[in-house]
Chains A and B, each alone.
Chain A
Amino acid sequence: MMADLRDLYQEVIVDHGRRPRNFGLLPGANHRAEGFNPFCGDRLTLQLQVVDGMIRDARFEGTGCAISTASASLMTEAMKGRSTSDAEALFASFHAMLTGERQETDAALGKLEVLAGVREFPIRIKCATLAWHTLLAALHEEERPVTTE
């Protein structure tokens, strides 16, 4: 039984959940969005610096469970140096992985594959996707906080 749990709480996830990368405010950010999951109270603010269609830098702040924090941390790592259209494509791949629309490995996801285990815990999928929905909102500069509901 605990093996399944280990699929969810892989070392990389526990590590990023405890010590998130790119955590804090981003001076010089020109895109920003807030995400909120009313089911569990997780909140995050995502800040991006986008220059000429390229994501130069990404940081986030907020509170959440290990899954949502690790997902935000890994996402910000993956976004740096990526074009905005590439970022949207990665969102689609990530979403497909979690909803089970795509079972085979997608090379583009790289390290983000560690979050595939969340698929087996349906109630926690929104924890993993919160940061990603916030990313889309930030890229599109939506005014209202996005929620997972």
Chain B
Amino acid sequence: MLTTADELKAVQGMAPTLDVARVRQDFPILQRTVNGHPLVYLDNAATTQKPVSVIEAERHYYAHYNANIHRGVHRLSQEATDAYEAARDKVRDIIHASRREEVVFTRSTTESINLVASSYGQGMRAGDEILVTEMEHHSNIVPWQLLCQRSGTVMRVAPIDDAGQLVMEQFAALLSPRTKLVALAHMSNALGSINPVKTLVELAHRAGAVVLIDGAQAVAHLPVNVTDIGCDFYAFSGHKLFGPTGTGVLYARTALLEAMPPYQGGGDMIRQVSFAGTTWNDLPYKFEAGTPNIAGGIGLGAAIDYVQGIGLAAIAAHEADLMNYASELARDFPGLTLVGTARDKGAILSFTLAGVHPHDVGTILDAQGVAVRTGHHCAMPVMERYGLPATVRASFALYNTRDEVDVLFRGLRKAQEMFA
């Protein structure tokens, strides 16, 4: 099992062993055409497609054992509870958390971060500081800004360099005894940069701060080990891990979850309710008010089975091969400027094309069946850093091929020809 960045690098350098043709058969959507062309889906950083096992897991739940969980004595409720809780164990396993109580189900990465800002944030005071980085997604900025407004806490921003890498000296210099929380991305959604999270956590802990890692872009592409990283919170979404939308995870250390007040009140999060006072349920249920996305959670479990069956090492190696190939073509492409050239980088190719606005590129690619993201990628501060209104972003996943990379670049040539 891979655990460290060095081991990951070794894997990324290995020849890919993934049987992509077989993998593609597992994703029904890849059979469809768009505007008369085979779909080339390169918007995986926005959301990933779903294997048939995930689609089937949701369908099977609704067709055979749809029931509410954690309450019925009847058979269906028991089956639904077992499947939902089995998914929690799968999440624990894929991120290497030490205990299942540390895995809180949410709706999304965004909700996971809001949970921490809202609940853990109640202990933050005027004069305390939160340190974020310049490469964060809006969902790892705005919840902290809201907390700052409520509490008088001050936000500091660690800058990135021209390549899109966190400037380590400045990050270290911004840490102080006032820093109570550090929030940073494992992998940048706009640039692909992978942060040296283990080192950053060590630095933050030395300053006495807790660390939240936004792992939305990481979990489907890198082996993640929260125990080895040593982070206090790790947030991610199921839908970027080939699972259903509306599923999210917050990993948090037990001691923190025990000390934190509930996030939302309602059913399932209580032990005993009376008008004189109410007591909270055990972990992680204290943070899971209301009927959750049961089908989604079960689907997420199936997605994790799928990913584990292929192996994150093989996935990382395949994506590294695609990225190397795409980066070479990009370097030789006249008028193309890569945005984000970090040494340690995931399978995200963000760029601009001279003479053609990103939105026009997006429309022209779509006419050829190629789906990319164009715009600010919910990371306006990153765009501001580079003085750009928008970029084109192609993001790869395990089912993409070198042929699809070729289709992308043929499309870019057509875009240039139209505006020549």
Which chain A residues have a beta carbon within 8 Å of chain B's beta carbons? Answer: 1-2, 4-5, 8-9, 14, 17-18, 39-43, 63-67, 69, 121, 124, 127
18 contacts between A and B (CB under 8 A): A1-B35, A2-B367, A4-B367, A8-B363, A9-B360, A9-B364, A17-B357, A40-B358, A40-B359, A40-B374, A41-B375, A41-B390, A64-B357, A65-B358, A65-B359, A65-B360, A124-B363, A127-B359
Between B357, B367, B374, B375, the greatest number of chain A beta carbons within 10 A of the residue's beta carbon is seen for: B357
Min Cβ gap A17→B in Å is: 8
Closest chain B residue, CB of each to CB of A8 = B363
Q: Which of B359-373 contact A (CB under 8 A)?
A: 359-360, 363-364, 367-368
Q: Inter-chain contact count A-B, CB under 8 Å? A: 57
Tell whether B37 is near chain A: CB-to-CB under 8 Å: yes
Q: Which residues of A contact B383 (CB under 8 A)?
A: 41
Contact across chains for B419 and A43 when beta carbons are under 8 A apart: no
Q: Which residues of A contact B419 (CB under 8 A)?
A: 9, 14, 17-18, 66
Q: Which residues of B contact A41 (CB under 8 A)?
A: 375-376, 383, 389-390
Given contacts A1-B368, A66-B360, A40 and B375 within 8 Å (CB-CB): yes
A135–B260 Cα gap in the complex (Å)?
A: 52
Tell whether B1 is near chain A: CB-to-CB under 8 Å: no
Tell whether B259 is near chain A: CB-to-CB under 8 Å: no
Contact across chains for A121 and B368 when beta carbons are under 8 A apart: no
Q: Which residues of B contact A39 (CB under 8 A)?
A: 375
Closest chain B residue, CB of each to CB of A64 = B357
Min Cβ gap B244→A in Å is: 25
A17–B363 Cα gap in the complex (Å)?
A: 15
Tell whether B276 is near chain A: CB-to-CB under 8 Å: no
Residues 301-334 of chain B: 1 if any A CB is under 8 Å from the residue's CB, otherwise 0? 0000000000000000000000000000000000
Q: Which residues of B contact A40 (CB under 8 A)?
A: 358-359, 374-375, 389-390
A104–B356 Cα gap in the complex (Å)?
A: 32
A5–B370 Cα gap in the complex (Å)?
A: 14
Residues 25-68 of chain B: 1 if any A CB is under 8 Å from the residue's CB, otherwise 0? 00000000001110000000000000000000000000000000
Q: Which residues of B contact A67 (CB under 8 A)?
A: 359-360
